[in-house]
């Protein structure tokens, strides 16, 4: 039994040695492999959710994303909807948004880019307040807090 334990210990140690030897040369392959696991995607609370609608305007594109209510188990009562403006943006952005795609406007958002001001006018009682409103590498993004 003692000899079996010693042999098993040495075998495990040598296996670990081999694992370290292949780790760095194979890192890209291992990383690609692990990235295919079903849980290897960023949570919508951080990405802002999938795009629901794209509206191409004169100089920019408005992207309305699907509302995010994701919680640990099921959905939360409070969430947000992310709006992206991509391209050459005007100095003042002013848009009326229908985030639930029911053909009725839900809120009006007005962003002054130079002074970084965001004014929200809710037209739907589910719309609460501005969460994030920030310039991005592609233009501007705003997250509006909403209720279910």
Binding residues for other proteins, rule: CB under 8 A, are 2, 5-10, 12-14, 16-17, 19-21, 23-25, 27-28, 30-32, 34-35, 38-48, 70-73, 82, 132, 134-137, 141, 143
Radius of gyration of the chain measured on its C-alpha atoms: 24
* Pair type for strands 107-112 and 92-97: antiparallel
Helix (H, G, I), strand (E, B) or coil at 3: helix
Helix (H, G, I), strand (E, B) or coil at 38: coil
Q: Is the dihedral of CA 132, 51, 137, 90 positive or negative?
A: negative
Q: Encoding tokens for residue 96? A: 């009326």
- Measured from the CB of residue 92, what is the shortest distance to other proteins in angstroms? 19
Q: Which is nearer to other proteins, 56 or 132 (CB)?
A: 132
Q: Which is nearer to other proteins, 19 or 123 (CB)?
A: 19
- Measured from the CB of residue 116, what is the shortest distance to other proteins in angstroms? 10
- Measured from the CB of residue 93, what is the shortest distance to other proteins in angstroms? 15
Distance between CA atoms of 56 and 40, rounded to whole angstroms? 31
Q: Which is nearer to other proteins, 5 or 58 (CB)?
A: 5
Q: Which is nearer to other proteins, 97 or 143 (CB)?
A: 143
CB 141 within 8 A of CB 132: yes
Q: Which is nearer to other proteins, 96 or 136 (CB)?
A: 136
- Measured from the CB of residue 102, what is the shortest distance to other proteins in angstroms? 26
Beta bridge partners of 135: 140
- Measured from the CB of residue 84, what is the shortest distance to other proteins in angstroms? 9
């Amino acid at each position: 039994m003692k000899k079996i334990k010693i042999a098993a210990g040495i075998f495990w140690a040598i296996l670990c040695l081999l694992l370290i030897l292949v780790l760095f040369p194979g890192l890209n392959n291992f990383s690609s492999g692990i990235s295919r696991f079903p849980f290897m995607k960023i949570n919508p609370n951080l990405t802002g959710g999938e795009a629901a609608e794209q509206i191409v305007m004169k100089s920019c594109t408005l992207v309305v994303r699907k509302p995010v209510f994701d919680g640990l188990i099921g959905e939360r009562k409070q969430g947000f909807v992310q709006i992206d403006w991509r391209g050459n943006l005007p100095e003042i952005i002013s848009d009326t948004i229908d985030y639930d795609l029911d053909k009725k406007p839900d809120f009006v958002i007005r962003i002054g880019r130079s002074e970084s001001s965001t004014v929200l006018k809710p037209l739907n009682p589910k719309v609460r307040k501005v969460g994030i409103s920030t310039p991005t590498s592609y233009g501007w993004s705003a997250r509006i807090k909403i209720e279910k």
